[in-house]
């Protein structure tokens, strides 16, 4: 059997063209979506009287056999079939005869591939959102258990102000929540059916695009067929959403790498998610967060690659668009395993609370609190308070202690307006809990953030 499109040609395609032109090696991943779309299309053709009862029944029976053959490994993928659409249609026709040739009525490979690919993206959008909810839930669980675990908050990777570890983890939960909302928004915006657009201009056959849209779980058909067959915005959004999510994962991974080092010692990663050295038997390497950090780069590359493919294309479909799938498949698979393994890494790591609290006594983290005390209690202008606090820090440095460890007498010598109640303000825990403004790091405001996130998680899981 020759190629489906070979009627106009007098020469057979070269084997080199088959190798260069074919997408079957990678787009066979779409087989279940191709079959699902074909069955919905056949049902619509039957309802519209374009297929008779027997033809429709034969197509359903034949497609069920094709599906079984693919899933059992008995299906023969031949590169000369070019793509998954032709491979399935050829096998269907071998099984049921001429009825298989009628399935392509009122559609083109242009809208067929747009449908298959969109179904894939939408399905994996839902999977990624579910995995995001699981990861956020795990992070929130860790945060809830560590609302009173002290941690040095940093800017410029320098100790800045005391916070709690739960608060720090809630920052990442907030990032990932935004990621979830981006995927959710993309799903709604792109939940439109391309099938029935045919090559670019629709079809003269009396089809019902609303019926196929409903059958396939879409909200409605797309508006304009010319745009539809040349649109890959849904894939670009998926790639952007994944790249942004992976950037957040990479930032968290970087902190896990730092925190698990000997220099920090804030966390200990589980042996189940660590590796060793081939030459240094004492080593325990944070390979999972390092790989997560590294895999972020490939998701960026996949996004830029598809943007570049699409940037100069005229309407409508162009063969360049065959390059849309491999990068998307790669980013989707990277995202899904990354979310899954990061959840396990966080769930199984040990929090070294004592090390975190010890680190809070390095860097004079309560310096801002002394300045605030001078302003609030002593009526000193902030700029003067800033200078006095600097002198107090210098004295602590001379004594080889943290600012929080200076006594009242030391501070009173620096400025007589300082009272004995100053030591309470210099307490690191007091400093952390003093930041009670909404979104702040106190134990109570952290608790409020956790409760808000838990309510949001519950709502998402119920919907």
174-214 per-position pLDDT tens digit: 999 999 999 999 999 999 999 999 999 999 999 999 999 99
Active site residue 338: no
Q: What are phi and psi for residue 167, nearest 5 degrees?
A: -60, -45
- Report yes or no: 146 and 166 within 8 Å, Cβ to Cβ: yes
- Report yes or no: 84 and 27 within 8 Å, Cβ to Cβ: yes
Two tokens, residue 436: 């009670």
Mean pLDDT, the chain, whole residue set: 95
- Report yes or no: 267 and 356 within 8 Å, Cβ to Cβ: no
- Report yes or no: 345 and 138 within 8 Å, Cβ to Cβ: no
- Report yes or no: 415 and 431 within 8 Å, Cβ to Cβ: no
Q: Which residue out of 72, 156, 262, 437 is catalytically annotated?
A: 156
Two tokens, residue 95: 């099984």
- Report yes or no: 200 and 317 within 8 Å, Cβ to Cβ: yes
Total-model pTM = 0.93
Helix, strand or coil, per DSSP, at residue 23? coil
Q: Which residue out of 14, 185, 261, 277 is catalytically annotated?
A: 277
| Residues 6 or more apart whose Cβ sits within 8 Å of residue 21 | 13, 82, 319
Helix, strand or coil, per DSSP, at residue 35? helix
Instruction: Residue count of the chain, please give it.
Output: 463
- Residue 330 above 60 pLDDT? yes
Residue 264: the pLDDT is 96
Of 402, 401, 422, 400, the closest CA to residue 411 belongs to: 422
Residue-wise pLDDT for 252-296, tens only, equals 999 999 999 999 999 999 999 998 888 888 888 999 999 999 999
- Residue 223 above 80 pLDDT? yes
Alpha-carbon distance of 168 to 148, in angstroms, equals 12
Active site residue 250: no
Q: What is the dihedral of CA 108, 109, 114, 119, to 10 degrees?
A: 100
Alpha-carbon distance of 135 to 141, in angstroms, equals 10
Mean pLDDT along residues 238-248: 98
Of 157, 140, 173, the closest CA to residue 249 belongs to: 173
Residue-wise pLDDT for 67-88, tens only, equals 999 999 999 999 999 999 999 9
């Amino acid at each position: 059997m020759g190629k489906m499109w070979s009627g106009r040609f007098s020469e057979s395609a070269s084997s080199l063209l088959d190798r260069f032109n074919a997408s079957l090696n990678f787009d066979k991943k779409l087989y279940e979506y191709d079959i699902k779309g074909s069955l919905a299309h056949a049902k619509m053709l039957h309802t519209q009287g374009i297929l008779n009862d027997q033809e429709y029944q034969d197509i359903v029976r034949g497609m069920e056999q094709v599906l079984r053959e693919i899933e059992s490994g008995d299906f023969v993928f031949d590169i000369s079939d070019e793509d998954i659409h032709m491979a399935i249609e050829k096998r269907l026709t071998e099984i049921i005869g001429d009825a298989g040739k009628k399935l392509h009525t009122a559609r083109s490979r242009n809208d067929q591939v747009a449908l298959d690919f969109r179904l894939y993206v939408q399905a994996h959008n839902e999977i990624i959102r579910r995995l995001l909810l699981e990861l956020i839930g795990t992070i929130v669980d860790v945060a809830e258990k560590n609302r009173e675990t002290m941690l040095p908050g940093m800017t410029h990777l320098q100790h800045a102000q005391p916070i709690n570890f739960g608060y720090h983890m809630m920052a990442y939960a907030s990032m990932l929540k935004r990621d979830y909302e981006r995927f959710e928004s993309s799903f709604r915006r792109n939940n439109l059916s391309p099938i029935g657009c045919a090559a670019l201009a629709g079809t003269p056959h009396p089809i019902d695009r609303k019926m196929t849209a409903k059958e396939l779980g879409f909200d409605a058909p797309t508006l304009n067929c010319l745009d539809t067959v040349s649109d890959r915005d849904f894939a670009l959004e998926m790639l952007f959403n994944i790249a942004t999510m992976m950037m957040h994962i990479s930032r968290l991974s970087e902190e896990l790498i730092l925190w698990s080092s000997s220099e920090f010692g804030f966390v200990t990663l589980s042996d189940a998610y660590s590796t060793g050295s081939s030459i240094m038997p004492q080593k325990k390497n944070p390979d999972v967060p390092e790989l997560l950090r590294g895999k972020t780069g490939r998701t960026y590359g996949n996004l830029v690659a598809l943007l570049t493919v699409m940037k100069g294309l005229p309407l409508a479909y162009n063969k360049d668009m065959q390059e849309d799938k491999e990068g998307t498949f790669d980013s989707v698979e990277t995202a899904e395993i990354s979310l899954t393994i990061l959840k396990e890494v966080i769930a199984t790591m040990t929090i070294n609370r004592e090390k975190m609290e010890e680190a809070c006594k390095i860097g004079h983290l309560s310096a801002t609190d002394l300045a605030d005390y001078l302003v609030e209690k002593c009526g000193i202008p902030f700029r003067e308070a800033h200078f006095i606090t600097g002198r107090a820090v210098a004295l602590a440095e001379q004594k080889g202690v943290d600012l929080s460890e200076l006594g009242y007498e030391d501070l009173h010598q620096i400025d007589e307006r300082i009272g004995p109640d100053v030591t309470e303000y210099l307490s690191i825990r007091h400093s952390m809990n003093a930041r009670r403004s909404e979104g702040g790091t106190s134990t109570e405001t952290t608790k409020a953030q956790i409760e808000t996130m838990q309510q949001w998680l519950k709502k998402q899981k119920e919907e």
